[in-house]
Every structure is written in C-alpha cells, then in structure tokens.
Amino acid sequence: MVDQSRSPNIALLIDADNASPQTLEQVLTVLAELGTVNIRRVYGNWNKPALKGWAEMTHRHALEPQQQFDVTKGKSATDMKMTIDAMDLLARGQVDGFGIMSSDSDFMPLAMRIRQDGLPVYGFGTAKTPDSFKQACSRFIDVSALVDRKEDEPIEELPAVDAALVELLGDAIRASKRDERGFASISEVGQRASARSSFDARSYGYSRLSELLSALPNFVTEKRADGRMFVKRVR
C-alpha cells in the first residue's frame, strides 16, 4: 500500500541494447506523473562502442550502470539481470511503479507479473515493439512521439489511428455513464479503455486523450463549466 505521506517511488530499468539515450529525458518527464524516479538503472555490456551514448548519460541523469557481459555470442544476459532486479525490487515492497525502456518482447512476462501485484508498468519502445510487450504494460509509449521536433518537421513514423482504436474508444464511451445528450466523461472513457489496451495518446503525437479524441472526426468533445472534458461518438 502506498504511503500517502511520500511521493510514490518509481523504478526505471533500461535495456541499453534496445533503447535510445536520446529519449531518456522525455521518458523521465512522463514517469513523473507516477511519482519520483528514485531508482534509475541501465543495463548493458559497456565494452560495446554502441553503448557510448548511454555511458555519457550515467552522470548527467544519475543512472546506475549495470555491467552485463555477453556470456554466449549472440545472446545477452541483460534481460535476465533486469528481470531479477525487478523481482527483487517488487519483493521489497518499496517501489510503487516501474518504467521499462526496451523494445524487446522478452519483458512481457515481467510486465505481467508486476501488474499482478497491482503496480503500474510504463513501457517505452519503438513502434516496432512486439504487441505482446506493448499489451502487457499498463501504458506503452512510442518514444519517437516524445522526441522534440520542429513545427514544420513531418511525423511520418508515428502510427496512424486505426479502426481498431476508434472502436475501442467507441466501446469505452458506450460502457461509460452518459448524459441525456450522449456525452461521457473522458476521464471515465480513458479508464475503461485502459482496461482493454495499453495505448497512450502520446504514442500518436498528442499529450492527452482529450486532444486525441478532439482530432478524430469520429468524436466530438466538449469542455464543461467545471473544466471537465466530455466526449460523444458521432460516426
């Protein structure tokens, strides 16, 4: 149970072989909505030149580097070490949420196990991350959507909102309490949608769900006098 007298304690575990250091600052900003990221560990074989970018980040963002040698050619011990550490942190009962930076589907069982204890798991990876890991997370965020861009720079790599997501949101609206005009609270819609999917509006280039819904022609949003946002499906 979270101690309400302190900020929730968040652990960020980074698979350096399958994550980019260029998105670390944005990831930390997202995780701040869960609490304070007190545990910051990055795993990899630091003898690899490809990890130089992560090595430079260790002092700048107080990352704790974890050395993992490649015992067998073509295989990495990073996944196993990350999993063991995560389970140790979970067993101690002092962590209130996890962030996992990786595009590796091998972390699907870990994310599922953490969630079974009622803790949120935010996954951060590329659009090519297997759905198995994406859906195992409480939220999965495409890191390409977090990188700062110039206003006129195209965002071609961001996934388009497909019919499946539109239907998911539509189902969430139908399952929510609606007023006489058919509008439902976006807050409730988001909660119901999250029970079925790990999608996050930030993966589509929007900072919050209300902005994503407002941009889709399938829905109409409305801000009430008390500041709350409501949504209705129109097509």
For 4-32, write each residue's pLDDT tens digit.
567 899 999 999 989 999 999 999 999 99
- The pLDDT tens digits for 179-202 are 999 999 999 999 898 878 888 888
CATH superfamily of 163-233: LOTUS domain-like (3.30.420.610)
Identify the burial level of 172 via C-beta atoms within 10 angstroms of its C-beta, where 0-12 means exposed, 13-18 middle and 19 or more buried.
buried
**Count of Cβ atoms closer than 10 Å to residue 206 Cβ:** 18
Identify the burial level of 159 via C-beta atoms within 10 angstroms of its C-beta, where 0-12 means exposed, 13-18 middle and 19 or more buried.
middle
Is 103 strand, coil or helix?
A: coil
Residue 157 has what pLDDT? 56
- The pLDDT tens digits for 45-71 are 888 888 889 988 998 999 999 988 766
In this structure, whether the domain defined by 9-145 belongs to CATH 3.40.50.1010 is answered with yes
DSSP state of 23: G
Rounded distance between C-alpha atoms, residue 53 and residue 65, angstroms: 12
All CATH 3.40.50.1010 domain ranges of the chain, comma separated, are 9-145
All CATH 3.30.420.610 domain ranges of the chain, comma separated, are 163-233
Cα–Cα distances (Å) from 50 to 16, 26, 47, 147, 220, in that order, read: 9, 21, 9, 20, 47
pTM: 0.76
Nearest CA-CA partner of 19 in 150, 126, 155, 93: 126
- Work out the percent of the chain whose per-residue pLDDT is above 90: 65
Residue 166 has what pLDDT? 92
Cα three-residue angle 196-167-215, rounded to 5 degrees: 105
Q: Residue range 204-221: average pLDDT?
A: 91
Q: How far is CA 234 from the centre of its chain?
A: 29
